[in-house]
Amino acid sequence: MNAFTRIMVGITGHHIEPDTRPGDVGGLSKIGLSICFASLLAAIQFGIAGWYLSEGLDTDSRYITAAVTAVQFKRFNSVLHERRSHQAGIHAQEGFSGT
């Protein structure tokens, strides 16, 4: 299994075991890719918001503000995802089904 697939499955908070079925790995990697795509769209949206929030500034400052807001959103989103993955691991160890 390649590194990209492992990363995409890891984004969902799951780990690939040796006995994991290929269909499960494929489904989880698609979910991970969807999470990445949605996160990218949200970062773009935050960048656009930063552009409009810095409306009174010159163009270079607006570019910087847009980039900073997009990057800060990505960092914030990464922290939230890491926390959710950690909590999912704790629940799995405790035997919770998550529902």
Domains of the chain, residue spans: 40-99
Q: What is the DSSP string of 34-84?
A: HHHHHHHHHHHHHHHHHHHHTTTS-HHHHHHHHHHHHHHHHHHHHHHHHHH
- State residue 99's pLDDT score: 44
pTM (two decimals): 0.62
Q: What is the pLDDT of residues 30-83, one digit of tens each?
A: 888 888 888 888 888 888 999 999 999 999 999 999 999 888 877 776 665 565
- State residue 84's pLDDT score: 58
Q: From the CA atom positions of the chain, what is the Rg in Å?
A: 18
Please give the Cα distance from 73 to 83 (Å, whole number). Answer: 15
Place of tokens 């984004």: 11
